[in-house]
């Protein structure tokens, strides 16, 4: 594999649709209220994509440094693990991704608030810095929270609540309590992707002392936790549609159907390696739910 292809692989393009799902839902919520801006939408997407690539680079770097990515790991070989990209080169990649994210976030904040709303601008700028820190600290450093079973919490917060409610606020400069429901839904579904990844890697993570929530819970309880994430995510989104009376958007619930078949696969699974294809199913289903929800708000 060439170095360029290795960098593309390290960016993990298959994770990008999931990362922008919260932005799509937050934008749809704003559009339902009559607010929309192409510049805000574009800068929000670019900021999120930058943060996701940064997270992927940092994850490659952190797990590479700690030796977690080894011959026991299930899934595609990582960039540092392959030896094609060095630790120092990945550090530079992380710095570039960080600067890109900061620039895009700054443009997003200025577009959304201008120079009149200094308090909001500072709040979102600090939130952007927190997002960068969270992306890096997942696996990097001695206090990496991904090694302490806290990855699920951060994914739920940043992919769900922050992404959905934050993007909605950028358009409307307001907050609706009911919007917490779809934010929770996207957060839970995003967490389900991480949980599935951790179920796949349970044995290798345990050997490398990467104490994910799955390692703490064990395989049987991790499956029950996975059922909760998917099913409660569906309940929250359905409840929102009913309470908000956005009945036309109920069509997006059809994208949950593959997730129900997915739960059957997880229930019957006895070999963690076979869970790898399921990652794409959950991620793309979450993206489909969000995209359909946005499209229905635009027509």
Q: Which residue has the higher pLDDT, 12 or 236?
A: 236
Report domain extents, the chain: 20-298
Pairwise CA distance, residues 27 & 40, whole Å: 9
Q: Whole-prediction pTM value?
A: 0.94
The DSSP output letter for 132 is H
The pLDDT tens digits of the residues spanning 253-265 come to 999 999 999 999 9
Residues 55/135, Cβ–Cβ less than 8 Å: yes
What Rg, from alpha-carbon coordinates, does the chain have? 19
- pLDDT tens digits along 176-232: 999 999 999 999 999 999 999 999 999 888 888 889 999 999 999 999 999 999 999
CA separation for the pair 21, 190 (Å, rounded) = 9
Helix residue ranges, H only, the chain: 3-11, 16-19, 21-32, 38-66, 79-82, 87-113, 118-137, 151-155, 163-172, 180-200, 202-207, 213-217, 219-244, 257-268, 276-298
Residues 6+ apart with CB under 8 A from 203: 72, 272
Minimum mean pLDDT range among 70-79, 219-228, 253-262, 278-287: 70-79
Residue 73 confidence (pLDDT):
57
What does the alpha-carbon distance between residue 177 and residue 181 come to, in Å, rounded to a whole number? 8
Instruction: Report angle CA 57, 59, 60 to the nearest 5 degrees.
Output: 65
40 vs 183: CA distance, rounded Å: 19
What's the pLDDT tens digit per position in 114-158?
A: 988 899 999 999 999 999 999 999 988 888 898 999 999 999 999
pLDDT of residue 81: 80
DSSP conformation class of 159: I
Cβ proximity of 169 and 175 under 8 Å:
yes
Q: What pLDDT shows up at residue 25?
A: 98
Residue 286 CA to residue 188 CA, distance in Å, equals 10
């Amino acid at each position: 594999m060439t170095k360029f292809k290795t960098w593309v692989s390290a960016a993990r393009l298959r994770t990008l649709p999931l990362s922008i799902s919260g932005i799509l839902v937050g934008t749809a919520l704003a559009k339902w209220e009559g607010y929309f801006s192409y510049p805000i939408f574009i800068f929000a997407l670019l900021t999120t994509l930058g943060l996701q690539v940064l997270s992927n680079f940092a994850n490659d770097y952190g797990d590479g440094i700690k030796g977690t990515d080894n011959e026991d790991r299930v899934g595609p070989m990582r960039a540092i693990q392959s030896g094609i990209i060095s630790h120092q080169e990945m550090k530079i990649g992380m710095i570039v991704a960080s600067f890109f994210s900061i620039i895009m976030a700054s443009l997003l904040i200025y577009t959304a608030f201008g120079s009149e709303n200094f308090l909001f601008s500072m709040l979102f700028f600090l939130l952007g810095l927190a997002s960068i820190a969270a992306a890096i600290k997942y696996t990097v450093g001695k206090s990496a929270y991904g090694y302490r079973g806290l990855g699920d919490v951060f994914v739920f917060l940043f992919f769900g609540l922050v992404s959905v409610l934050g993007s909605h606020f950028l358009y409307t400069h307001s907050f609706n309590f009911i919007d917490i429901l779809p934010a929770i839904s996207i957060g839970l579904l995003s967490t389900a992707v991480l949980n599935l990844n951790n179920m796949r890697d349970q044995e290798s993570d345990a050997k490398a002392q990467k104490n994910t929530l799955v390692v703490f819970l064990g395989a049987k309880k991790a499956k029950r936790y996975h059922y909760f994430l998917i099913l409660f995510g569906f309940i929250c989104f359905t409840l929102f549609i009913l309470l908000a009376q956005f009945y036309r958007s109920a069509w997006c619930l059809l994208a949950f159907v593959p997730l129900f078949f997915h739960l059957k696969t997880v229930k019957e699974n006895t070999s963690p390696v076979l869970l790898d294809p399921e990652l794409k199913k959950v991620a793309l289903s979450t993206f489909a739910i969000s995209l359909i929800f946005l499209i229905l708000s635009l027509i």
